[in-house]
Structure 1
Amino acid sequence: MTARTGDLSPPTVPEAGVAALDVRGVTHAFGARKALDDVSLDVPAGSFTALLGPNGAGKTTLFSLITRLYDNRSGAIHVLGFDVRRQPAAALSRLGVVFQARTLDLELSVLDNLLYHATLHGVGFRAGRRRAMELLAQDGLADRARDRVRNLSGGQMRRVEIVRALMHRPRLLLLDEPTVGLDIASRAALVAQVRGLVASEGIGVLWATHIIEEIAPGDRVVVLHRGRVRANGTYEGMLAQTGGEDLSAAFLRLVDDTGEAAA
């Protein structure tokens, strides 16, 4: 899906078998320190995939490579089959992102933040406004469209950031620690919102977190620790692989650098 100027066409359904995200053999270093070491993972279309790892695991570095904030000089990253290095415009037009740091303009209204994003993606004013109000209504925020962002709660700001990421109808949504700083109720609502998008729109989601409670049976899980992938599969498969009675126990065994699980 590539939005045409002044238009918001219905999203293109990915070809059968094409992953929303495919990362293969990516290594990235800052000087002598490897932030990522031969990382490979995939996010199938229409799936909720959790990227689970402690702070400093390399999650934000990986997101920066996928979004082209950093240049991947090794391996390959494909979004809906498009190489982010060789076909950046096609790849990034199919991608929506919610970064860990808040990026809304606090002095602008909710609607103006959304329209600015739409303009950057070549969407005309009328189509952008229609899409913004549609998404805000779906999320119960239509009555806040004219409010300055600084007057919203933290949870509402996050919801607006997700709405903004969806403005151009992406087929892959990246969220980097999106619940940081939110209370328990806001966190649960945000997770439910994103899971609803997977179910209703069939988008692929990569949800980076260090909070195990945000992951549920049936999810795909990638465990990243010290820049390396320690597990990549289903929630249930991870329990079977480690013999853990729950995800917390499985995770601790996978990141135990003193045992074979970390080898």
Structure 2
Amino acid sequence: MTAAAQVPLALCCDAVRKSFGGRVALDGVSLNVRRGEFVALLGPNGAGKTTLFQILSGLFVADSGRVTVMGSDMRRDPVRALARLGIVFQQPAIDLDLPVLANLRFHADLHGLARNVATQRIARLLEDFGLAARARAPVRELSGGNRRKVELARALLHEPDVLLLDEPTVGLDPASRAQLVADARRLTAQARAGVLWATHLVQEVEHADRVIVLDRGTVRFDGTPAALRGAAAADSLESAFLAMTPPSTNTADRRVPA
């Protein structure tokens, strides 16, 4: 048994299907993430990444298939499963008028954290993200990159076993994107959380432990970045990704990754 195989599965998605009317959004998607593992879910716009995240986070119910978080079934025991998740959605979901500190305290209260425990964790996370000096500033006054850092700090506050990040760098400049990726990798490694990072930006997956390529609701590849290049006989991740996700004649609105 390999060392990786001995690490428990934090997230397991087995044969998940989801349709909307006659359109199949997810067609038997299976994937897993182990604790301490940083997995990139790479796919073009419209591949099904957001639908998958909505199922993984309990917002949608799959037509069939099974999702478990640290062994808890999302359908049978959603409260226990959701309690083990930290989530950063594609669209910002934070109160812009509340100070940073108040946003984090509110989240801590939702998870039933004791005030002294919450205070210690908030102080540590604000320091880790370089936000200690802005703790009492309304979130509205922060830059886009710092707002995302607040959302990531909030997602880590209750020490989840799994961190879901759905296109968390959308709208950020290249420097802020790179910083957020680095912060997420560093802090989740410290917390030994399993991470599923959804993106359509190839640059963000270079240092992932594994890359899962999702296209038209189907997993096309699951392996290391180096293996992805090899599987597509390509000299770069971008070339490999484009080779595995050719444009479809009936999805003209899909964009090529930047």
In structure 2, distance between residues paired with 1:138 and 1:94:
22
Matching residue of 2:113: 123
**8 Å contact kept, 2:25–2:217:** yes
Any idea what SS the aligned residue of 1:92 has? helix
Is residue 2:190 matched to residue 1:197?
A: no
Instruction: Give, in angstroms, the shift of residue 135 of structure 1.
Output: 0.9
1:48 equivalent in alignment to 2:12: no
Aligned-partner residue type, residue 191 of structure 1? V
Q: 2:79 aligns with which of 74, 89, 101?
A: 89
Q: Percent identity?
A: 51
User: 1:175-254 to 2 correspondence within 5 Å?
Assistant: 175-217=165-207, 219-254=209-244
One-letter code of the match for 2:189? A
Given the superposition, is the C-alpha separation of residues 194 and 180 from structure 1 closer, same or farther in structure 2, using an over 3 Å criterion? same
When the two structures are aligned, how many residues end up with a matched partner? 244
Residues 197-243 of structure 1: per-residue CA shift (max 9 Å, x gap): 24322211100000001112452000011111111111111122121
Taking the aligned partners of 1:217 and 1:242, their CA distance within structure 2 comes to: 18
User: Deviation string for 1:51-106 (max 9, x for gaps)?
Assistant: 00111111111010011100123111111121111121221111100001011101
Amino acid at match of 1:84: M
1:218–1:164: structure 2 CA closer, same or farther, 3 Å change rule? closer
Alignment of 1:138 onto 2:125:
no
Ranges of 4+ aligned residues in structure 1 off by more than 4 Å = none
C-alpha contact 1:18 1:81 (8 A) present in aligned 2? no
Superposition pairs for residues 134-173 of structure 1, below 5 Å? 134-173=124-163
Q: CA RMSD in A?
A: 1.5
Aligned partner of 2:80: which letter? Answer: A
The one-letter code sitting in structure 1 at the alignment partner of 2:236 is D
Secondary structure of residue in 2 paired with 1:75: strand
Q: Is the 8 Å Cα contact of residues 87 and 165 (structure 2) preserved in structure 1?
A: yes
In the TM superposition, what whole-angstrom CA distance separates every residue of 1:3-44 from its partner, at most 9, and x where no partner exists? xxxxxxxxxxxx944211111100001111111111011112
Task: Output the CA distance in 2 between the equivalents of 1:104 and 1:64.
Answer: 18
**Paired residue secondary structure (2:165):** strand
Provide the rounded CA distance (Å) in 1 between the counterparts of 2:207 and 2:86: 25
Structure 2 residue 51 is matched with structure 1 residue 64 = no
> Using the alignment, how far apart are the partners of 1:17 and 1:49 within structure 2?
14
Aligned equivalent of 1:77, options 67, 72, 80: 67
Compute the displacement of 1:257 (Å).
6.2
- Helix, strand or coil: the match of 1:128? helix
CA distance in structure 1 between the partners assigned to 2:189 and 2:58 by the alignment? 28
The 2-side partners of 1:211 and 1:115 are apart by 32
| TM-score between the two structures when normalised by the length of structure 1 | 0.89
